Amino acid sequence: MEILDLVIGSSSLFAIKATQAFFFFFGMPLPEDKWEDWVNDDGFKGKPWLNKSKKYLFDELSLAKKEFKDFLSSNELMNETVSENGGAKVVNQYIQAHVIRIKKIRLIIQFKVYYNVSKNAYGTRYLLAKSCWIDNQDGKVIKKFSRVVGQEEQVKKGGKVPSNIIKEIEKELEKAMWSEYFSEYKS
């Protein structure tokens, strides 16, 4: 459902969405025009929604998407944001904050673990697992979370990390990412 506003053209009336009207009247460049498509296309590989242990993440993703769609389609919320926070540019910042939040949830649902080796001062090689996060300032991906897996020679079997250790590390990193998300958005 789209909330429509009437805008007077040079010789005719035409209907546009609330967000378009808002940016038109305040003389600001319109943010990405395909928000609905972006929100609906999570871009997941495989079918992570079938993993029952990630249900809480999909519930949170649905909530974040709903709040974002509500914000985009509501003149009242946009006007309230402008009047309470001092300016039309704040609306674009709110849109970016919603986008970053959704990106973070998507990242928690399906993230990549990077492994590398680090030596301590005594020359012992340790295997590290790292994962990324989304920066709140510019929405770029940054490496933020890391876990020491153990001494490389003790962890790797046949030159590879065993799948049970990979699953354990993924659970730890997911827990750390959720904890960070929770501290940013829920506390």
Give me the count of residues in the chain.
187
Strand order in the sheet with 114-119: 114-119, 125-134, 141-151
What pTM was computed for the model?
A: 0.77
Q: Residue 4 — φ and ψ, nearest 5°?
A: -110, 145
3-state class (DSSP) for residue 89: helix
- pLDDT tens figures, 59-100: 999 999 999 988 888 777 777 776 777 666 777 788 889 999
- pLDDT tens figures, 124-144: 999 999 999 999 988 999 999
Distance CA 177, CA 173 (A): 6
Q: Which helix (H) or strand (E) holds 135?
A: none
Q: How far is CA 94 from CA 60, 81, 107, 181, in A?
A: 18, 8, 20, 17
Check: CB of residue 151 under 8 Å from CB of residue 127. yes
Q: In degrees to the nearest 10, what's the CA dihedral of 166, 178, 183, 35?
A: 130
